[in-house]
């Protein structure tokens, strides 16, 4: 099940500034690569996730755990360092009244 993050049209987590980690075993399911020694979802040459298309995530409900659980607003609350744009988006969601779940949030 997805985090209840109200992403709307935001795709920051799927674009070139972001790297989605894969949980052990998920490399059997998803296209993957190694980034700085970490197993991550594979990227296109422009840096975007290979599963991102014009209408958004092509695998949506079946996306990797990190994608389904990530909440940029929780990262702001938990003071976890993320990219500037994602941090700003998290702050925006908090201003809009979004209340993130602060337990079991995967970065």
Residue 57 found at the interface with ligand SF4 (CB under 6 A): yes
Judged by CB under 6 A, the stretch of 21-29, 32-40, 65-73, 96-104 that binds ligand SF4 is 65-73
Task: Give the integer Cα–Cα distance in Å for 22 and 10.
Answer: 21
Applying CB under 6 A, among 40, 41, 76, 105 the residue interacting with ligand SF4 is 41
Q: Are 73 and 93 in contact (CB under 8 A)?
A: yes
Residue 76 binds to ligand SF4 (criterion: CB under 6 A)? no
| Residue from 79, 75, 76 nearest 106 by CA | 75
Does the footprint of ligand SF4 cover residue 10 (CB under 6 A)?
A: yes
DSSP 18-50: ---B--TTGGGTS-EEEETTEEEE-B-TTSSBT
According to CB under 6 A, which one of 7, 40, 76, 105 is a site residue for ligand SF4? 7
| 43 belongs to the binding site for ligand SF4 (CB under 6 A) | no
Q: Residue 71, CB half-sphere, CA atoms under 13 Å: how many? A: 20
Q: Which residues bind ligand SF4 (CB under 6 A)?
A: 5, 7, 10-14, 20, 41, 49, 51-52, 57, 59, 63-64, 67, 70-72, 86, 89
């Amino acid at each position: 099940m997805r985090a209840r993050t109200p992403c709307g049209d935001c795709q920051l987590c799927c674009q070139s500034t972001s790297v989605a980690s894969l949980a052990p075993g998920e490399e059997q399911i998803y296209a993957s690569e190694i980034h700085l020694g970490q197993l991550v979802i594979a990227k296109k040459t422009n840096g975007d996730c290979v599963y991102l298309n014009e209408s958004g995530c092509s695998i949506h409900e079946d996306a990797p755990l990190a994608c389904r659980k990530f909440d940029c607003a929780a990262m702001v609350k938990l003071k976890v360092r993320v990219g500037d744009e994602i941090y700003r988006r998290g702050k925006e969601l908090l201003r809009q009244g979004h209340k993130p779940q602060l337990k079991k949030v995967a970065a």
